[in-house]
Amino acid sequence: MIRKFVLVSLAISLGGCATSFTGSPHVENGRSGCESKCKGQGMEVAGMVYMGEYSSACVCEVPGQHASQRRMLVGASGAVAGGVAGVEMQRQAEQRNHQGS
């Protein structure tokens, strides 16, 4: 009985950790694409993060945000960009592993 429990637990834990991504890791149409995405959320473009081949992302802000608040956002965006790059590299490695199977 314990052996079955361990095997079922192992199977569930291994299958539950898989992460998959769909779509392009880059923002379509660059800056104009970011403007559309931000405007759709009632915001405006504050900047764009570009990680070369890995990914790109929009940085949106509330309209009329003060410059001091924007500086805090820029500091945080570096940490976010590093996280995005790590996730994208993991996704690509997983995709390569599935292609080799």
What residues are paired with 61 via a beta bridge?
44
- What percent of the chain stands above pLDDT 90? 15
Q: Which pLDDT tens digit goes with each residue over 48-63?
A: 888 877 888 999 988 8
Instruction: Give residue 28's region: left, alpha or beta (phi > 0; psi -120 to 50).
Output: beta
CB-based contacts of 95, cutoff 8 Å, min separation 6: none
Q: Are 47 and 60 in contact (CB under 8 A)?
A: no
Q: Residue 89: which H helix or E strand, with range?
A: helix 67-100
- What percent of the chain stands above pLDDT 70? 58
